[in-house]
Structure 1
Amino acid sequence: MEWLSGRIMLLSGGRRAFLAFFAGLLTVLALPPFGIFAAPFLSFPVLVWLMDGASGNPDHGRIRRAFPAFVIGWCFGFGYLLGGLWWLGNALLVEADEFAWALPLAVIGLPAFLAIYYGLATAIARVLWSDGIGRIAALALAFGICEWLRGTLMTGFPWNAIGYAAMPVPLMMQSAVVFGLAGMNMLAVFAFSAPALIGTRKGAVPGLVLAGLLVVAHFGYGYWRLNDQPAALADGTTSVRLVQPVIDQALKLDDAARADIFTSHLELTTAAPAEGAKRPDIVVWPETSIPFLLTDNPDGLLSIADALQEGQILIAGAVRAENAGAGLPPRYYNSVYVIDDQGQIVGAADKLHLVPFGEYLPFENVLNSFGLKSIAAAMPGGFSAAATRTPLTLPKGKVLYPLICYEAIFPGEIGNVALSTDALLNVTNDAWFGDTPGPYQHFQQAQLRAVETGVPLIRGANSGISAVVNGLGEVVSGASFNVRGVVDTILPGKSRIPFEPDQQKRNALIVAAMFLAVALFSRPSFILRAN
């Protein structure tokens, strides 16, 4: 192992950059649909050894000395994000004649830009670098900081944060209820990087022991938690039907197909429950499942009323229009409606966190002059964002916390207020991305929101993955990807959590402070001053 670490440290130029890129690409195997937990334990030691050899010219200033480390981190991040996000290009091929030109920007440009955060992480870590366990702590801290920045700046995009690589299944998701995603990002990087200590010996025993304890605690806590609360999760009486129609995205954009699409949803809504299953109280349609402005189509509301039985409620994704005032074009919102058995809209919530370039165009006036427009919005100006997130109160008193599409990937979108609701509601349309890793990654991230809050998740997706997930992240019932049909199940109750989301964030800060202390105390300059 020392021979291997030495060879990697001495690499230079293109070989160094390629190995960093390959290590990042290897890390993708830990994400859905693969879930190979061992992959980062191979890739992160390579990153550490490459960092060991990226000292920079001692005659240069601090920023220039950190540049070689930045390049390594950028190459690693580019490999990881390219391998994890290439499927975004599929959305541009739905209307290829209009958007195919932007394919390189989505497939290569976005990962290249987001990789700057990883380059920044390795540059920060290099400033705190030392010979032993301290450099592992510095790398964990720096990744934690930069993953937080990636999920926050410029509306944020925390998709496939490193912490998800350590949480592929519910057994391994339970630690998130203690540290949140922010804390798991740091703890995961520390554990993944610890094997690098074998190659350089110094600090190997305490580092490997600590990493081993973290992994054992990670699995042990998950096992204990999954076996501690089965009774609490069985206390549910509300029946839910998820409608998964599997409508091809190109067809959804075809005006001539709107009637057939609407009819398909109605047919699945009225399908008889499986033998022994309870008649659904709540029926859930996916994001933008109603293919017209419902408020302009009273016949559509009558059809929904005919499809619902007495006491049933439909929750459906739809586009909502709002008058903006005299002489102004209407505002459009990506919304969910609550519709009762009389065909009355009794509740609604609008999407708060829109997708840049998908649902709205940043710097719209400037970019419109170049002929650009948003991808998913079929109306002028794209969608408008809601001012606040509005929980949905159903006629029988159940309260749902709505998360439309990729809002479910943001832990910060779900504060303590979600704890007072009966379920998280995530409606989405991942048909944009075809049969790629994207829908599986999206589902994993939605699962984590249930674990962090202990609140069950109702997830309705056009092409999948539709499922009801309990507060431990376990799938109670669901439909496989691209399988048309319905899911009938009972909504589980909430599970107990040791820490609320706000406290999880504070716990993550404690982890960051501990890693900072280890990194500082391990530096030779600190040791010399202490002596």
Structure 2
Amino acid sequence: MLAHDNAFGRRNLGTVVSEVLVLVVSALVFSMAFPGLVLSGGFGALAFVSLIPLFAVIRRTTWALTPFYGFLFGFVFYLMFNYWLKTFHPLAILIVPIIKGGEMVFLFLALKAADRWFRSFGYLTQAFAWLAYTYVSQSWFAGYPYGMIGYALYQYRILIQIADITGIWGINFLMILPQTFLGAWVGDRWRGTFFTGGRGIFGSGEEYFRPGKPKMTSASLSAYLKDQRLAVIIYAALVLGTLVYGAVSLSTWNAMEPDRLWRVAAVQHNSDSWKGGYDQYKKNFNIMRRMSLEALRYEPDMIIWSETAFVPSVSWHTQYPSDQRTAALVDEFLAFGKSLPVPLLTGNPEGVLANPDLPPLLENGEWNRADYNGVLLFEDGEVKDTYRKQHLVPFTEHFPYEKQMPWLYNLLLANDYNWWEKGTESTVFETADGVRFSTPICFEDVFGYLTAAFVRTGADVIVNMTNDSWSQAVSAEVQHVAMAVFRSVETRRSTIRGTNSGITTVITPTGRMVNPMPPFVEDWRMYEVPVYTADTYGNTPYTRYGDTPMRLISMAVVIFMALAAAWQAGEKIVERRKK
């Protein structure tokens, strides 16, 4: 027999098995809300109910099992949700679920504490704790917003228009609150009890969990809703307000005339991103050159290629040519870019001297070289401007703990991971005809704060340069574009995605995807990108303030929970002294 569950009887193996099964099913159903293995586009409605069992388990289980359940849920969900990471590297499909499972150990403990310490308002405290987690979990070195609950609604445009005020965070809160609320009721019904009295913080406390102390009654759902009618009314008002705001926003923005239409030819060359070497680089260049010349016949204002579309570094090979054929290919590429009558935007690594005081080739035969994941803009016969990626993919592009964890650093290097240098500027490109745009590279567009910073700096269009071809999964590409949808709504700026293999499309300020190109095909397409300038339309509240409100909310949650923990500790000390 396992440990006692205090007032709720003894816990045996069957009890634990039932809770584990419920959590696993909850994780699997939650993963199906997103584009994934079962549904390439996902079924977002599942995200409104799939976590109710999770909160029911947290309510009925013990403290001792809570950390294990947190790790289990996080591991299973991300194993299913990010199944395509196995294509990237066997380590990746383990690293991500382990990290996210580890994060959820702390999340589940916080949720358990909220449920026990704030019985009357436990569900509300849980909702804020979950919201704070979604922010904090994307804010450290291994921050990874994939799987955030709000992103499941990328197709429900009327519900996501509030993102221009709250960012993704307001949508997360509206989706999680009813599930913490109903999870409490389901948890009580599961064990056949419902709590109605007590003292302590907000009319609750540890006395609920001692034999003979709690008052328990049976409660139907209607009785529960009636008892919590004020909370239900407030939530219904929030949802109604969200729907009204969404309908008005969609109507308003659909009727708005953009400042101009920017004709952009997007080239999707669909290359195997794992193949390297001169022959592959030459083949890719020939494909992109051919399709770009075809597009010129339709008079585009600009041509865009994808992230690292041309792999040999222009900056390195023009200054420190070491391979004659590669240097000649770089010269050919430069000549082509400079010869075009319209701007060409392409991803290209920027190689620089790692130590400017040393020669490019060191005495030990190693290159004195560091690389940035970069973007080049060709216009008027020259390389006009560049951008360096600021937010690097953890573990695969960046690992800052070489001294603290040399074993992991060396393991990653031994598994062919290589590091990029970090850029520091939110570059805004401007074409000769006055279009101002910024280029978040690949993973960068999953972070709202970065896109908001680009727009605050002056970007009127977002051009996402990405390469997800390595995933070999349509669902991985849809997961990525689903998050890009929110960046356009948050900033009310159009996005055009220049991708290797998909999803190449335009996203309007209402989050509508226009004429997406089929993934994993070699093609090009002309897009008329609506340009909305800050001079005409201003900046949204989210653009102006970014994630600052979420930082404050997260700090408030931490302080509130710390004070509650201190209160509980004080109560126990007082009770021990009474004895």
SS of match in other structure, 2:439:
strand
Query: AA paired with 1:78?
Result: F
1:162 to 105, 129, 149: 149
1:249 counterpart residue number? 273
| Higher Rg | 2
1:382 counterpart residue number? 419
**CA 1:498–1:313: 2 relative to 1, 3 Å:** closer
**CA 1:248–1:133: 2 relative to 1, 3 Å:** farther
2:351 to 321, 329, 332: 321
Cα distance, 1:287 vs structure 2: 0.3
Matches within 5 A, 1:64-103: 65=63, 67-92=64-89, 103=90
SS of match in other structure, 1:50:
helix
Matches within 5 A, 1:99-248: 103=90, 105-129=91-115, 134-196=121-183, 199=186, 200=188, 201=221, 202=224, 203-248=227-272
Residues 461-487 of structure 1 show CA distances to partners (whole Å, capped at 9, x for unaligned) of: 100001121222112333121232112
1:397 counterpart residue number? 434
Q: Does 1:293 align with 2:313?
A: yes
SS of match in other structure, 1:359:
coil
1:426 counterpart residue number? 464
Cα distance, 1:334 vs structure 2: 0.8
Q: Distance in 2 between matches of 1:369 and 1:190?
A: 40
SS of match in other structure, 1:356:
coil
Q: Distance in 2 between matches of 1:403 and 1:430?
A: 14
Cα distance, 1:338 vs structure 2: 0.3
Q: Distance in 2 between matches of 1:106 and 1:348?
A: 30
Q: Distance in 2 between matches of 1:40 and 1:500?
A: 24
Q: Does 1:259 align with 2:282?
A: yes
Residues 17-49 of structure 1 show CA distances to partners (whole Å, capped at 9, x for unaligned) of: 232122022111221233323313332221121
SS of match in other structure, 1:222:
helix
SS of match in other structure, 1:413:
helix
1:59 counterpart residue number? none
- Are the counterparts in 2 of residues 179 and 508 from structure 1 also a CA contact under 8 Å? no
1:100 counterpart residue number? none
1:35 counterpart residue number? 42
Query: AA paired with 1:501?
Result: T
Unmatched tracts of structure 1, length 5 or more: 1-5, 57-64, 93-102
SS of match in other structure, 1:424:
strand
CA RMSD of aligned residues (A): 3.4
2:3 counterpart residue number? none
Residues 380-436 of structure 1 show CA distances to partners (whole Å, capped at 9, x for unaligned) of: x63211132322222333221220110111122233551421111210000011124
Q: Distance in 2 between matches of 1:508 and 1:339?
A: 39
Q: Distance in 1 between matches of 2:510 and 2:420?
A: 34
Q: Distance in 1 between matches of 2:408 and 2:98?
A: 24
Cα distance, 1:510 vs structure 2: 8.2
After alignment, is 381-390 or 138-147 more displaced?
381-390
Q: Distance in 2 between matches of 1:188 and 1:514?
A: 20
Q: Distance in 1 between matches of 2:120 and 2:53?
A: 15
**CA 1:19–1:157: 2 relative to 1, 3 Å:** same
SS of match in other structure, 2:50:
helix
- Are the counterparts in 2 of residues 284 and 316 from structure 1 also a CA contact under 8 Å? yes
SS of match in other structure, 2:420:
coil
How many percent of aligned residue pairs carry the same amino acid?
21
Matches within 5 A, 1:445-524: 445-494=483-532, 498-503=540-545, 505=547, 508=550
Q: Distance in 2 between matches of 1:518 and 1:384?
A: 38
Q: Distance in 2 between matches of 1:45 and 1:449?
A: 28
1:12 counterpart residue number? 15
**CA 1:357–1:108: 2 relative to 1, 3 Å:** closer
After alignment, is 331-340 or 67-76 more displaced?
67-76
1:331 counterpart residue number? 370
Q: Distance in 2 between matches of 1:45 and 1:346?
A: 53
2:206 counterpart residue number? none
Residues 270-321 of structure 1 show CA distances to partners (whole Å, capped at 9, x for unaligned) of: 11479xxx52111110000013223432222112344x2x3x1000001111
Query: AA paired with 1:225?
Result: S
1:373 to 408, 413, 428: 413
Residues 127-163 of structure 1 show CA distances to partners (whole Å, capped at 9, x for unaligned) of: 2215876222122111111121210112522222122
Q: Distance in 2 between matches of 1:228 and 1:176?
A: 15
TM-score, normalised via structure 1 length: 0.82
Q: Distance in 1 between matches of 2:101 and 2:409?
A: 29
Unmatched tracts of structure 2, length 5 or more: 1-7, 189-220, 318-329, 361-367, 572-579
Aligned residue pairs total: 488
Q: Distance in 1 between matches of 2:488 and 2:44?
A: 21
Q: Does 1:52 align with 2:59?
A: yes
**CA 1:498–1:305: 2 relative to 1, 3 Å:** closer
SS of match in other structure, 1:480:
coil
**CA 1:349–1:376: 2 relative to 1, 3 Å:** farther
Q: Distance in 2 between matches of 1:239 and 1:80?
A: 41
Matches within 5 A, 1:271-282: 271-272=294-295, 279-282=299-302
Query: AA paired with 1:315?
Result: L
- Are the counterparts in 1 of residues 162 and 170 from structure 2 also a CA contact under 8 Å? no
SS of match in other structure, 1:230:
helix
- Are the counterparts in 2 of residues 22 and 79 from structure 1 also a CA contact under 8 Å? no
Q: Distance in 2 between matches of 1:508 and 1:362?
A: 25
**CA 1:37–1:382: 2 relative to 1, 3 Å:** closer
SS of match in other structure, 2:83:
helix
